Each structure stands twice: as C-alpha cells, then as structure tokens.
A and B are shown apart, each in its own frame.
Chain A
Amino acid sequence: MRQLITPRVVAFVVGLLFALAALWALAKGVGPAFATFGQYGRFTEPMAESEFHKYPEKRDFSFNGPLGKWDTRQLQRGLKVYDEACAACHSLKFVSFRDLAALGLTEAQIKAYAAKKVVPGIDPVTGETTTRPGLPTDRFPSPFPNDIAARAANNNAIPPDLSLMTKARHDGTNYVAALLTGYRGQPAELVAKFPDAKTGPGLHYNPYYANLNIAMAPPLTSEGQVTFDDGTRATVPQMARDVAAFLTWTAEPQLVKRRQTGWAVMVFLLFATGLAYLSKQQIWSAVKPKKN
C-alpha cells in the first residue's frame, strides 16, 4: 500500500482532478453555448451594442507616424473649439495656461488668455473664498464646483474631464473626432430588432459610443459655430478634427519630444549594438569552428 502513494501517483491524481474539474465546467457549458450558436449562428446572443457599434475611421493627423509633429495652428483652433463648445461642461484639470506656450502662444497672449478665465481664489484681506482672473500658472478652471453640481446640471450624468480623454479610449484621437460627428437618428432596423435598446429620453444615439446612447447633446451642430482666427472654414468635421488634435496634445503634451528623444536613442543603440556585434565576432573568432 505504501508503495502505491508515490509522489508521481499524487501528481497524477492532482493533475487529473484539476483537468477533470475544468472539463466538467466545459461539459456543463457546451450545451448552452452550442444552443446559442444553433439559434443565432454565433456563440453570444446578439445585442444592439455588438451589432450597431462602429469603430472610428482612421483620420490623417500631422502628428501621426514616428516623424509626426504638432500643427500648432490646428491646436490653436482646437483650443478655441474647446473654449466655445466644450468648456461649459468639461474640465481640463491637468492642463495649465502656461502649457499653451507649446501651441505657439506668446507669454503676453497666455497672460491675456488666462486673465479672461475666472478661477477660485482667496480674498487677501478677509481670507474668504472668492474668484479672481487666472494667471499663467493656474490650471484650466472646472465648470462645476463638484460632482453633485455637475450631475444636477447635466441630467444626472457627470461630464468627464477631458485632459486625458484621447488616452482613456481605444484609438482616442479618432474616437473623439468620430464621436463628435457621429450623432444621427436611431436606425429603424435597430429599434425593430431590439425594441429595448430604443434611445431613452435625455439620451442621444451615437454609434461610436460604447453603449450607443450618450447623455451629451451634440456639441458641434452648425458650420461657423466657432470663428477661426486663421480663416479656416469651421465645418463640423473640421471643428471635430481640430478639437480631437487639441485633446491629443492635452493628453500627451510630450508626444513630439518623446519621439525625437526616441530617434536619438535608437540611432545611438543601433551604433552601440553594431559595435557590440563586431566585438563579439572578433572575440569568438578564435574558438568558433571554421565552416568548410
């Protein structure tokens, strides 16, 4: 009997137990899975989200690709779109006014821009909370004092902070541009097939949004809604692209510097690795068998 309980027998038993438990779960799941497959031709029940959701189309941006650079005029246009179409509801809390130097604004322009914004402050005499004009060192002010106020003003949905939006979604830059131009009527086909997925009151149909129905009303509605200083025609797709570019910069302000650093690092490493290869060949040549 003692000879029977060897470590390998224990291993067999343990291995078989885990395998059996996994296969037992498989046996229980296989029936329902293939019943679903038989009914719908796929393993998951069809849902409005999976059938009508759209991934954003690829767009050309100046900063795409390993050599891409910011188009500062586009970023300035995007800033203007943010200011006039987004800032009433969405904060940009990780961005400071001084950061706008990267958009090509001069120090005086940044000062003037900041001074137009109202930020929370402390009265220097009474110590009471008050407001004051912004300084270049201030962050972009938030439109709502807290989440409760944000909910109250927006039909119970909190408008998210936009600083990191293009990094917080898959393919974020294209996503923002597609979402802003993606509003449309709900397809009749969808409502016929999924009556429960009908867009509810206070919601708006947008196939680029994960669950198809977004609380945000279309923010860009008509051509010329924003007047661009550089004379660019402010079509809705143009405004959407520009603000998507701007939000790419707010999410990753060091994007161009990062790639430039990367090029320097890669050139150095290629050179160093080449040298390392040659010295390795040289050192090993004495003991490597000669190939005949």
Chain B
Amino acid sequence: MSFPWARQYQPSNGLMRYFDEKLPLPRLVYNAVGAGYPVPRNLGYMWNFGVLAGFFLVVQIVTGIVLAMHYASNAQVAFASTEFIMRDVNWGWMMRYLHANGASFFFIVVYIHIFRGLFYSSYKAPREMIWLLGVVIFLLMMATAFMGYVLPWGQMSFWGAKVITGLFGAIPVVGEPIQVWLLGGYAPDNAALNRFFSLHFLLPFVIAGVVILHIWALHIPGSSNPTGVEVKSESDTVPFHPYYTAKDGFGLGVALLVFCLLTFFSPNLLGHPDNYIEANPLSTPALIVPEWYFYPFYAILRAFTADFFLVPAKLMGVLAMFASILVWFFLPWLDRSPVRSGHYRPLFRKFFWFGLIPCMALLFYLGGAHAEEPYIMLSQIATAYYFLHFLVILPIVSTIERPEPLPTSITAAVLGSDREAAKGEAAEPVAA
C-alpha cells in the first residue's frame, strides 16, 4: 500500500542500484520505516510503544541467546547453572538481569500498546487484522514468558509450572491425560524442563514472524492516529523518517532510562524471593503466584470459587481465564461505533476510565494477593465487570452513544483549520 504521495526509493549509487534490482531490501526498509512510509502527523507519545515492544523483543532474543550458551536445562543442575551465570560468567549477571527485567518491560510496553489500542479503538476496520495478529502475539508472549520463568528451576518456577499445567487437568475426561502429555510425567521434572527450554527458545522467533505480519498488516491501511479520522491528504502526514524515527528515538531513550534504573539498581523488585530457593517438590510455598504480568488473569482464574450449575468451580475459572483474552479477538465486531477515538466518545470514555481501567488495576493487585477475603470478593466483582464491559457494555454503548463532532481532517485537528495546511506542506523535513 501506500498513499499516492509516498516518496519513492531512489538508489543513490551504482551499488545500491544493483541491490535494488537483485534484492530490493533497502527499498523494503525505506517503505516500511523510512521516508517512504507516510504517517499521520499528529501521533502522540502513546504511539511510541509499538516500536518499543519491537525493541524489547530484540533485547530478549539477544540476551536470551547469550544466556542459552551457559544455561543447562537439566533438573539436576538448572538452578546451579543459573547461579553459575550470575557468579562466574563474565557479565552473566547483567545478561540475566537484563533478560528477567526485559521480560517485565516487554509486558509493560505491550500492555500500554494494547490499552492505547482499546482507547482509540485501533481494532476497528480497516485495521482488524493488525489487532487480531496483536492478540496472537500477546498469547505467544504469555506462553514464552511462562516457560522462561520455569527455567531457573526455583521454587516458584516449579510450583508455577505445576499450577498452570494443572489447569488443563480441569478439562473433563481428557484433562488429566493432556496434563501428563504436556509435562511428560505426573509432575514437572526433567522432561518438562527440557521441553520448556526448547519451546522457550523457539517461540520468540515465532513471535518475530507474527510481528512481521503485524507490521505488514499495519502498512496496508497505514497507522491510526489520536483523532481516529483517516488520512485524507498529504498535509495530514509526514514521512516516518526522520519525523518518527526521531520521536521514537527520544521515547526509546526515556524507556531505556527507566529500564536500566530497575535493572541496575533494583533488579529483583519485580521478581519473587522464593525463586532463589531451589525447586523442591516436597515443600509447597506459602503463596504460589505467577509473575506480575499474569496477575489479572490469575485473579480471574481464582475468582470462581463456587460451582456454577453443572460446571465445577475450577473448570469455570479456567474457561474464564482463557475467555478473558479470547474476547479481545471479537472486539472489532462488538464495538460498532463508527467513531474510533475515545476523545470523541463521551460515554465510551467514561466506561473506559471509570470502569475498565480501575477494574484492570484491581485485578492486577488481586492476582498477587493471598487467596483470602476480602480479596476474593473484590476479584469476583472485578471479574464480573471485566466480562460485562467487553461483551455487554461496549456493544450497547457503541449503539446508543452520540459521539462528539469530529475534526474535518488531521490537519484541521493540528492547525485549527484546513486552510493553514499549505504552511505545513511547504515545510521540508530537515534531514530527509
């Protein structure tokens, strides 16, 4: 795709002309993230997080490959080999802390990316495919992160693996055979650890593949923007390079500052002390919790404490936990409002800021709390709201709401009127 005014790649010398004929890779980059990709001129800092997510995927792959050179995926030595990396491998402690906190930051930026998409309804036509692929990436990330957390073979690794694979045991009839098949045994042991390591190495490359599809699908309609009004003319856009490479560069600097502050000054803040105790199948930790980024879904899982007619409580919890993410796949067809941006949707906005956001914040808190009152009651209320929000409130709001008037164009939103667009057009990028 592109807008008719998109710049065309011009090879600047004989070598690049040769490349452009045989393998137009420079042209591909130019059209994907270079001057050949026109982007709405009004993107705020919330639009930085896609690039940041891509950056943290690369951080994870690079640090992960180095760690894999020293790690041993055998239940007898896995914990000791992790400590070997921390103590005896040159800069091994830095690689491991970057990898552990990199996972947290990958999830932080992806959560912000997702909630940006929810507020600005980025999932709506013509961008449904981008959203669907994004949910696939999120699911793959969850699987990868879960298996990665098992690898150090600490107490939380072992018991986390036991609880999560135990969820499949809730499925009637075939549940237990599935659980045994997943683990390669009746409890997590060497077979499970080895396959988790193998899959933890494979899945990031699958994620990278789906990320390419995600970006490809993005380039068909082009980026969304905070007004939700589609691009109409050249004055609505600026070339990705240098405008958004510069803006993303600054955003990346800020993100790295926060990331390195955590990694170098408080690397275990987001972890759990129990994972510095070697896995022991005979000693159950007082509180089994997953990593913080799974807390909302763990809270939903634990909210179902009573059988619901013929469905046992545990199965209900498992179904709800999976459904809570699967429901995102249907958003493009549940929210039928023609207006995208939450800025122009008064009712939707109220439910977003005073419904969904507090509900998610509560679920984040409750997922890490002890399974006792009043946390259980609160997680039941939050869980009920979560499903009502996406499956009942959102469809109804999108039908009955009267949106506020939209700006006539992106240029009008930025400059106050379309007539001033000429000024913007006359301005040439400095370094292009």
Which of A's residues lie within 8 Å of B, judged by CB? 7-8, 11-12, 14-16, 18-26, 28-30, 33, 36-37, 43-44, 66, 94, 99, 160-161, 163-164, 167-170, 172, 210, 251, 253-254, 258-259, 261-263, 265-266, 269-270, 272-273, 276-277, 279-280, 282-284, 286-287, 289
Contact = CB atoms under 8 A, between A and B. Distances in A.
A282 B242 CA distance: 11
A266 B253 CA distance: 10
Contacts of B80: 94
Taking residues whose C-beta sits less than 8 angstroms from the other chain, chain B's interface range is 35 or more
A19 to B, nearest CB: 4
B354 interface: no
A251 B420 CA distance: 63
A211 to B, nearest CB: 9
Nearest to B238: A287
B380 A23 contact: yes
Contacts of A289: 414-416, 420, 424
A280 B246 contact: yes
Contacts, number: 183
A66, A262, A287, most chain B CB atoms within 10 A: A287
Nearest to B415: A289
Nearest to A95: B87
Nearest to A164: B276
Interface of B: 41, 80, 83, 86-87, 93-94, 97, 238, 242-243, 246-247, 249-250, 252-254, 256-257, 260-261, 263-265, 267-268, 273-274, 276-278, 286, 303-306, 308, 311, 313, 316, 320, 323, 330, 333-334, 372-374, 376-377, 380-381, 383-385, 387-388, 390-392, 395, 414-416, 420, 424, 427-431
Contact of B377 (A16, A33, A167): A33
Nearest to B395: A8
B229 to A, nearest CB: 17
A16 B392 contact: yes
A22, A24, A94, A280, most chain B CB atoms within 10 A: A22
Given A11-B392, A15-B387, A254-B87, 19 more contacts: A12-B391, A15-B388, A18-B383, A18-B391, A22-B387, A23-B380, A24-B306, A25-B306, A29-B377, A43-B373, A44-B372, A167-B273, A261-B264, A272-B253, A276-B249, A276-B250, A286-B427, A286-B430, A289-B415
A94 B83 contact: yes
A15, A20, A253, most chain B CB atoms within 10 A: A15
Given A16-B392, A168-B273, A276 B246 contact: yes
Given A25-B304, A43-B372, A279 B388 contact: no
A258 B94 contact: yes
10 contacts: A18-B391, A19-B384, A20-B308, A22-B383, A29-B306, A33-B377, A94-B80, A168-B274, A280-B247, A289-B415
A253 B87 contact: yes
Nearest to B264: A262
B313 A25 contact: yes
B249 A258 contact: no
Contacts of B97: 258
A66 B266 CA distance: 9
Given A26-B380, A44-B372, A254 B93 contact: yes
Contacts of B243: 283-284, 287
Contact of A167 (B261, B276, B392, B416): B276
B249 A280 contact: yes
Given A22-B304, A29-B377, A269 B392 contact: no
Contacts of B273: 167-170, 172
Contacts of B429: 283, 286-287
A286 B414 CA distance: 14
Contact of B395 (A11, A169, A251): A11
Given A11-B334, A283-B243, A26 B320 contact: no
A262 to B, nearest CB: 3
A133 B133 CA distance: 61
Contacts of B424: 287, 289
Contacts of A258: 93-94, 97, 264, 267
